[in-house]
């Protein structure tokens, strides 16, 4: 099939010398050295061109029987290690001498693009139903071959002609055109591989590249291995099939292929969008949380295809708070040209992003109606979705409506809307408590005053929960407020515990505790939000609450050493006893320090001085035992 293109000494045969156009002279070095971030992309470009040429010939054969495709039409890749030569062959439309000069001699010229423009001139009713989908632009992409080859030969025979021509170039000053022979119409691209590109002569490496970049090109792709042509691609763009023609097994297999997971998807979204933009999408929401998911990679990895051809998985087709979604988006509205690596700036891609994001959110709203199923999804990916409440103003309200929370008042998960429906008369805020451990939050002393008054509190234990409530601000007109900042609100709601029983004389006790604790606290004050506990900590002033301060310190961020406020329960027996001791002139320093450390432990912290805490607690218990014994 492939014409011998070099003589005994390896030099290209003599022929007509042509200089590259000025555009090629200026841009070829950029294409070779700076255009693509991965050298392996050259194979994607050449395979795309080959598949496009085959598609073009199939279309031309509809009106010209002389151009009919052979039944075994395919793209063949043939590595020859001994000759250091890699050949990509197709049975496509081929090129004449003039087309070789035009299409490969001017970087801005594209045979494929010109063909597409010709199609656009025709009336829609004159076009056949199986109009070809043109994959590549033969201009810029072809020159990627020079990233791995120091010399390239193209042998091509135009379908419907008996004449073949050879295009030869080292990618520098120009190219040579000379007569050639080829058994049947089509094109051979022969790359004479550079010394540092041996990997592209290995059949297994080539197959991996095809699987990655061109697995779903509809034309068969084969790689010559051990004297035989072995299949290298699946050859079916599953996402382009009607949903009714795709089985669940096929969908699950494809999901595992793109996600590298082993579960089955919780949700599958398969649709074709038409209108101002045209694209097909096949997306999956995993059924389980991937190992080590969430913190390492925050970018969406949905794959972008253009006319079935994989372009990148780094186009940010979904926001980071939907990064758990896997799959493919394939569009007809983007070109396969130099701009593929500058996709972030294209308005077409921005519209696709918005459409895909809205479609995923609509799916989540629909599936949220099945509370049991949605609970499983939320446990897997809820923390990620809540990131959007923090950093995405456009979708903040939508995501707040999709969020689920544990609560001090109900079993299972609840929503913000359901919380609002249960508000007490006169309650103007949605209260929440943040912490590290969801199992210990329900027993937090921070809840005592709210629980005693029948006020519901949302229990938040994900790291992001310390951030997003501030950004959301309100929901359905109700402010979100941390319980550590909501103690003043409790004055409006009386409890039986507050109205009966003796109380400590705080006017006597509080100054003594402030003196005993010194700079360890910013203030000591009484509180009405405790029932069974003696003390509780709260943040000083209007700064970040204590949980947020801890998170910031763990992440290595500089946080001012803000001393907390110690709040004391005037109705607690221990507090009353301390007040009486102060009134008798006794020192309460050791017990005050113990109470501060107890408050820290209740709040999920460790004592600042564990040894001192243990020593003081042991001494206090010993004295209590001696008193009891006497």
- Binding-site residue numbers for ATP are 45, 49, 90, 95, 103, 110-111, 137-142, 187, 340
Q: Which residues are annotated as a binding site?
A: 45, 49, 90, 95, 103, 110-111, 137-142, 187, 340
Looking only at the bridges linking them, the beta strands covering 406-407 and 85-90 are unpaired
Mapping DSSP onto H, E and C, the string for 226-272 reads CCEEEECCCCCCHHHCCHHHCCHHHHHHHHHHHHCCCCCCCEEEEEE
3-class SS of residue 141: helix
- CA angle (59, 63, 68) in 5-degree steps: 60
- Of residues 208, 201, 202, 18, the one with CA closest to residue 102: 18
- CA angle (290, 294, 287) in 5-degree steps: 35
For residues 398 and 393, what is the distance between their CA atoms, to the nearest angstrom?
Answer: 10
65 to each of 57, 61, 68, 361, how far by Cα in Å?
Answer: 10, 5, 5, 50
- Of residues 470, 464, 319, 344, the one with CA closest to residue 395: 319
Query: What residues pair up with 520 in beta bridges, in sequence order?
Result: none
For residues 60 and 49, what is the distance between their CA atoms, to the nearest angstrom?
Answer: 16
Q: What DSSP line would sit under 515-576, residue for residue?
A: HHHGGG-SEEEE-SS-SS-SEEEE--TTS--HHHHHHHHHTT------PPEEEE-TTSHHHH
In this structure, what is the dihedral angle of CA atoms 60, 64, 70, 74, given to the nearest 10 degrees?
-10
For residues 280 and 293, what is the distance between their CA atoms, to the nearest angstrom?
Answer: 27
For residues 193 and 78, what is the distance between their CA atoms, to the nearest angstrom?
Answer: 13
Burial-class residue 245 by CB neighbours within 10 Å (0-12, 13-18, 19+): exposed
- CA angle (449, 453, 459) in 5-degree steps: 60
Helix orientation angle between 41-60 and 203-213, rounded to the nearest 10 degrees:
70
Q: Is the dihedral of CA 461, 467, 472, 477 positive or negative?
A: positive
Q: What values do phi and psi take at 589, rounded to 5? A: -60, -50
Strand order in 565-568's β-sheet?
A: 523-526, 565-568, 535-538
Please give the helix or strand (H or E) that residue 89 lies within, else none: strand 85-90
In this structure, what is the dihedral angle of CA atoms 40, 352, 237, 342, given to the nearest 10 degrees?
-10
444: which residues sit within 8 A by CB, 6+ positions away? 433, 435, 602, 603
């Amino acid at each position: 099939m492939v014409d011998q293109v070099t003589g005994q000494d390896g030099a290209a045969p003599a022929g007509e010398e042509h200089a590259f156009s000025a555009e090629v002279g200026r841009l070829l070095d950029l294409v070779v050295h700076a255009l693509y971030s991965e050298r392996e992309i050259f194979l994607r470009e050449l395979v795309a061109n080959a598949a496009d040429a085959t598609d073009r010939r199939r279309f031309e054969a509809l009106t010209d029987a002389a151009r009919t495709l052979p039944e075994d039409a395919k793209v063949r890749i043939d590595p020859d290690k001994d000759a250091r030569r890699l050949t990509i062959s197709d049975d496509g439309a081929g090129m004449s001498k003039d087309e070789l000069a035009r299409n490969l001699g001017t970087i801005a010229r594209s045979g494929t693009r010109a063909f597409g423009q010709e199609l656009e001139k025709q009336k829609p009713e004159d076009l056949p139903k199986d109009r070809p989908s043109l994959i590549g632009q033969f201009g810029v992409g072809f020159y990627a071959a020079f990233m791995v080859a120091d010399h390239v030969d193209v042998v091509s025979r135009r379908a419907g002609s008996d004449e073949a021509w050879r295009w030869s170039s080292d990618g520098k000053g120009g190219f040579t055109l000379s007569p050639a022979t080829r058994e049947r119409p089509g094109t051979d691209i022969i790359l004479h591989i550079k010394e540092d590109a041996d990997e592209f002569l290995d059949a297994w490496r080539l197959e991996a590249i095809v699987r990655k970049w061109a697995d779903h090109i509809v034309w068969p792709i084969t790689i010559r291995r051990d004297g035989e042509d072995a299949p290298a691609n699946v050859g079916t763009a599953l996402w382009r099939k009607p949903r009714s023609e795709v089985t669940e097994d096929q969908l699950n297999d494809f999901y595992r292929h793109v996600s590298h997971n082993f579960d089955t998807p919780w949700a599958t979204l398969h649709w074709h969008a038409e209108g101002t933009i045209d694209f097909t999408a096949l997306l999956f929401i995993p059924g389980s949380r991937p190992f080590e998911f969430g913190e390492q990679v925050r970018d969406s990895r949905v794959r972008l295809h253009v006319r079935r051809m994989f372009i990148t998985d780094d186009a940010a087709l979904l926001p980071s708070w939907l990064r758990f979604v896997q799959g493919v988006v394939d569009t007809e509205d983007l070109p396969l040209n130099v701009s593929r690596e500058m996709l972030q700036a294209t308005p077409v891609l921005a519209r696709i992003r918005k459409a895909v994001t809205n479609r995923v959110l609509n799916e989540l709203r629909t599936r949220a109606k099945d509370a049991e199923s949605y609970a499983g999804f939320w446990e897997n990916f809820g923390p990620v979705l809540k990131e959007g409440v923090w950093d995405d103003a456009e979708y903040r309200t939508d995501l707040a409506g999709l969020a689920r929370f544990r609560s001090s008042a109900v079993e299972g998960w609840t929503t913000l809307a359901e919380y609002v429906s249960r508000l007490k008369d006169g309650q103007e805020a949605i209260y929440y408590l943040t912490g590290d451990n969801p199992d210990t939050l329900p027993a937090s002393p921070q809840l005592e005053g709210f629980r005693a008054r029948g006020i519901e509190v949302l229990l938040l234990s994900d790291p992001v929960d310390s951030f997003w409530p501030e950004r959301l601000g309100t929901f359905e007109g109700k402010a979100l407020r941390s319980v550590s900042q909501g103690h003043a609100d409790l004055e409006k709601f009386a409890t039986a515990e507050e109205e009966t029983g003796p109380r400590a004389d705080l006017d006597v006790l509080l100054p003594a505790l402030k003196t005993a604790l010194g700079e360890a606290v910013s203030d000591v004050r009484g509180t009405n939000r405790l029932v069974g506990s003696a003390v509780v900590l709260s943040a000083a002033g209007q700064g970040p609450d204590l949980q947020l301060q801890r998170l910031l310190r763990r992440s290595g961020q500089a946080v001012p050493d803000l001393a907390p406020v110690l709040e004391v329960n005037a109705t607690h027996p221990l507090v009353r006893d301390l007040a009486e001791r102060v009134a008798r002139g006794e020192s309460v320093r050791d017990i005050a320090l113990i109470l501060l450390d107890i408050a820290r432990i209740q709040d999920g912290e460790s004592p600042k001085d564990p040894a001192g805490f243990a020593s003081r607690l042991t001494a206090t218990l010993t004295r209590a035992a001696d008193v009891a014994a006497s």
